[in-house]
Amino acid sequence: MVHTEEALQIPRDFEGFGEEGFDCQWPNGARIAVSFILNYEEGGERSWYDGDGMSEPYLWEKGSSVTAKPGGRHLNSEQDFEYGSRVGCWRIFRLMKEFGWNMTLWAIAKAMERNPGFAKACVRDGHEIGAHGLRWLEFWDYPLEEDRKYIKDTWEALHEATGEWPVGFYFGRATPNTHVLVPTVLKDIGQKLLYSSEAYNDEVPYWVDLPSESSLPAEEREGMLIVPYNYDCNDGKLHMAPGFMSSAGQTYESYLKSTFDMLYREGGKMMTIPMHSRIVGKAGRAEALRNFMKYISEKEGVWVSTRRDIAKHYREKFPYKPGSRCGGA
């Protein structure tokens, strides 16, 4: 059963930045910040091999037509995930290198452990390791103490596997309490949270007040910076119904370009492109991704950045101020 701890809930906000919106004033006068995210999960998914009693039925090549096989192995599923770690991740890695850009990884600790060469190369080349969990499993029903332990274990396992402490996170499968627990748990282990992406409700970063800090004097509160995520540009929709309505990369490419064009014209916004090694890492879709990358590389004022650097910019330009979404000096 899901337990919602009332003292750990952030109130819903239906107003946001309103009619005028918000200009993030990106570095060097850039009109848009573009964040490529690689959800690196291969090797951390449900697996008969790991004692889960089944192979992962979700988000692989058979899409919505797939059926689970409880109590046994589904080799087709397993091997599609292996394609992501053996081939797809390196193809995406090469594309980022071709354009001279860095990405953020939503990294599953077990997946990183099982592909140490990739983990090492990502850190070496300046890509950001963000926290995505110990394994790619739901933990929405964990009680508070198990929730805290899962957070702590995730950070420590990712540090062990990559040599880097994550400063941002997106779990996506967490409890209603995890979001507010993360900064507290990190303080306990001597680490600092730079940002959370556990939100889908905007196209620019914003600040939230932490209920866990409500009893502190205003000058001692740190708040939490939200760098919103999305599903609409997620390549996972190639395997969902309704999704991009085709597994072909061309529909994906067209949608990414349309999203970019609107945000670029408006100015001051952020575009997030969530990817998976086993999905857009397939050759035909990777070519569509490359077409999109080439398209935006030819535009003026495009800042392709990790979320870590987006958060650093926002914190410096608009520091936390209790009660303010945008912050400011």
pLDDT category of residue 329 using cuts at 50, 70 and 90 = low
pLDDT category of residue 242 using cuts at 50, 70 and 90 = low
Q: How many angstroms separate the CA atoms of 308 and 28, rounded?
A: 17
Q: Which residue has the tokens 């983990």?
A: 119
- DSSP bridge partners of 276: 39
Residue 165 scores a pLDDT above 70:
yes
**Can you tell me the mean pLDDT for 29-56?**
92
Residue 245 scores a pLDDT above 80:
no
* CA distance readout (Å), 95 to 42, 60, 141, 153, 238: 19, 22, 38, 32, 20
* CA distance readout (Å), 173 to 73, 84, 127, 198, 203: 24, 21, 23, 10, 21
Those residues whose C-beta lies under 8 Å from the C-beta of residue 200, and which sit 6 or more positions away, are 228, 229, 230, 231
Q: Report yes or no on 196 lying in a domain.
A: yes
* Average pLDDT value for the chain: 92
Residue 124 scores a pLDDT above 70:
yes
pLDDT of residue 63: 65
pLDDT category of residue 48 using cuts at 50, 70 and 90 = confident
Could you tell me the residue range of the domain that residue 195 belongs to? 23-57+69-317
pLDDT category of residue 224 using cuts at 50, 70 and 90 = very high
Q: Report yes or no on 116 lying in a domain.
A: yes
Those residues whose C-beta lies under 8 Å from the C-beta of residue 236, and which sit 6 or more positions away, are 59, 243, 274, 276, 279
Q: Report yes or no on 328 lying in a domain.
A: no
Q: Report yes or no on 329 lying in a domain.
A: no
**Can you tell me the mean pLDDT for 110-122?**
97
Q: Report yes or no on 43 lying in a domain.
A: yes
Q: For 8-12, 98-102, 272-276, which range has the lowest pLDDT when averaged over its residues?
A: 8-12
Domain count, the chain: 1
Do 302 and 268 touch, CB atoms closer than 8 A? Answer: no
- DSSP bridge partners of 37: 104, 274
Residue 3 scores a pLDDT above 70:
yes
- DSSP bridge partners of 105: 38, 129
Model pTM score: 0.94
Helical axes 89-99 vs 283-297, angle rounded to 10°:
20
Beta strands in 113-209 (DSSP E): 128-133, 168-169, 195-196, 206-208
**pLDDT tens-digit readout, 254-274:** 999 999 999 999 999 999 999
Q: Quote the radius of gyration of the chain (alpha carbons, Å).
A: 19
Q: Report yes or no on 325 lying in a domain.
A: no
CATH number, domain at 121?
Answer: 3.20.20.370
Do 128 and 308 touch, CB atoms closer than 8 A? Answer: yes
Q: Report yes or no on 305 lying in a domain.
A: yes
pLDDT category of residue 106 using cuts at 50, 70 and 90 = very high
Q: Report yes or no on 40 lying in a domain.
A: yes
